[in-house]
Amino acid sequence: MPKGCDMIVGLYNLPSVEVDETIKIKRAFVGDKEEILAFVREHFSKSWIYETEHSLMQEVSKCFLAVEDGKVVGFACFDASAKGFFGPIGVDPAQRGRNIGAALLLRTLNAMREYGYAYAVIGWVDEAEHFYRKTVGAEFIPGGSPENSVYSNLISL
């Protein structure tokens, strides 16, 4: 499968994951918008800033945070690129290897299930393929390359 394709995952048999008790996974509060967007700006791509902002500005926030000692260490969103899409997701590089990403992924996918979705599309997966396969059994969507996905509307494609 070529790099950067969409994946799909069913939401009815999601596993559980343990995360360090010092990490709190919580729904983002719009009042923390600047702090959240600053975290995304510092560690991830510019386009993720806009997707995260969009998920924060929903009637009920569709962004979840991993917080430790009052500081954002990770985030995950849904319905940011398109309805039914999971992502973006990111964990502070210094905090990786602590199951924070898995906890954010599962909390967000469970929220999508509670919201009424049966499946989630994980958009434009590249180097994180193994993480999604291992954590939730996601599979590539045949023909799910960016030019055949919601990303075909990007100026750069």
pLDDT at 153: 85
Output phi, psi for 64, to 5 deg.
Answer: -120, 150
pLDDT at 138 over 60: yes
Alpha carbon separation from 5 to 11, 23, 51, 118, 152 (Å, rounded): 19, 31, 18, 20, 12
Distance, CA of 62 to CA of 43 (rounded, Å)? 20
CATH number at residue 82: 3.40.630.30
Distance, CA of 83 to CA of 122 (rounded, Å)? 11
**pLDDT tens across 61-113, in order?**
999 999 999 999 999 999 999 999 999 999 999 999 999 999 999 999 999 99
**pLDDT tens across 5-57, in order?**
999 999 999 999 999 999 999 999 999 999 999 999 999 999 899 999 999 99
Residue 4: pLDDT band (50, 70, 90) is: confident
Output phi, psi for 77, to 5 deg.
Answer: -130, 165
Q: Which residues constitute the domain of residue 148?
A: 5-153
What predicted TM-score, i.e. pTM, was given to this entire model?
0.91
pLDDT at 125: 95
Alpha helices in the chain (DSSP H): 33-43, 46-56, 100-115, 129-136
pLDDT at 130 over 90: yes
CB-count burial class (<10 Å; 0-12, 13-18, 19+) for 49? middle
CB-based contacts of 69-72 (< 8 A; 24+ apart in sequence): 69/22, 72/35, 72/36, 72/39
pLDDT at 2: 55
Does residue 93 have a cis bond before it (omega within 30 degrees)? no
Which of the 8 DSSP states describes residue 150? G
How many domains does the chain contain in total? 1
pLDDT at 118 over 90: yes
